[in-house]
Structure 1
Amino acid sequence: MDIANQLSTSGRAIFTSRLVRKKFDPSQPVLDKGSSVSGAYFVLEGALRVFTLSPQGKQITLYRILPGQTCILAINSLFNSFLYPAWVEAEEKTVLGVLPGDIYRQLFRGEAIVQDITIKALSSTVFGLMSALEKHHSQTIKQRLAHYLLVRVAPDATVYTTQQVIADDLGSTREFVARILSHLTQQGLVQTGRRKIRILDPEALKKLCQYDEA
């Protein structure tokens, strides 16, 4: 989404002159829990992962921020002078556009596209968090892993990721994820390789999302 081109002439001038671009490498921290938020963050390229930590110290992914999107937790902290309540890191090479808080509030009052982005970020984040919470409490880790693979599979029937990333996203351990993947491999549902998992039987995985066969 090209935000600048959807602003009014005056809004575009303010946006482009005050937007600060920042580059991040994969896994580089962007925000730490307890940080003060001075502006709104727009993903221009790449992706961000917002996560928290369990009492055992495991990373639990809350949601991701993709190009054209902003972080609603940062917006909430910005509007209410709260400290940031989670951690954020770049998932890949990422370019952020950071807009000072007073400028974002000014644009929010008068620009429909900024209001739209903010409302969509709020609704999608709430929906994602509720969905993740429901899955976490109602499904086994094996079912959640099956669902995880199905929603992230590429057109070539392959999920390009690592076991550690999956473990972080599911709030589990790499060893436990490896054990489940080994079981799925023995059943002929998947085939694992270096930084990739090939889906061999998607229909069986779909059934597994509903009924745990373990």
Structure 2
Amino acid sequence: MKLNFAKFLIIILLLASCGNKKKEIKEYGFKQIDADSISVSIRISEFDNYENLLDRLKEIVCFDSIPKIVLETENKIRNIYPIEYCEIPMFHPRFRNTFFIQMDSIIKNERKVEISELSTLMKQNFENMGVKEGFADSPEKVLFIFEYYEDKGVDGIEKYLKAITESYDYIKSENELKIAFWPKIDVIPDYENGELRYKTTE
């Protein structure tokens, strides 16, 4: 009887220790030295559309704080510090440097990237050093930009963030993982008096 009780007690203690096990914390992006004191945690599931997410990111940055996107699983917490500005800069990233994440796909050089090949392609871009034309100019310029239409939901963002960070972990790169969130704007050519102009579609 005492032996059975001892076995039961050991099992209970083991279960309790497993339940109290601390989750591994991984961090990605530009974490500043004092980020813990000025960072503001957000979770993608808190937002019902992409516009609200963009507005919240902008609001945090404009108040001199740092947005921290938190992805939490059963045994791991991923803290992602995206590149965000109070006002979106006038910047057109080169295709060779940029992975564009849309609602249903990841695009690189106008080609859809399967999640299964993401780590290989990421490694090739980080290590290219401008040699091959279809890959990044330098590891510092590799950028992942989420581009959703503002009136759409946030479906897929957590899935792609998880895939990107897992691929980054897999290749064990020492380069910083740069992630940004931008609104998707369709730009179409328009000619006025024979000169090329651009206009956006609604």
Decide which structure has greater strand share: 2
Q: TM-score range by the shorter chain?
A: under 0.3
Decide which structure has greater helix share: 1
Pick the structure with greater CA Rg. Answer: 2
Q: TM-score, normalised by structure 1?
A: 0.23
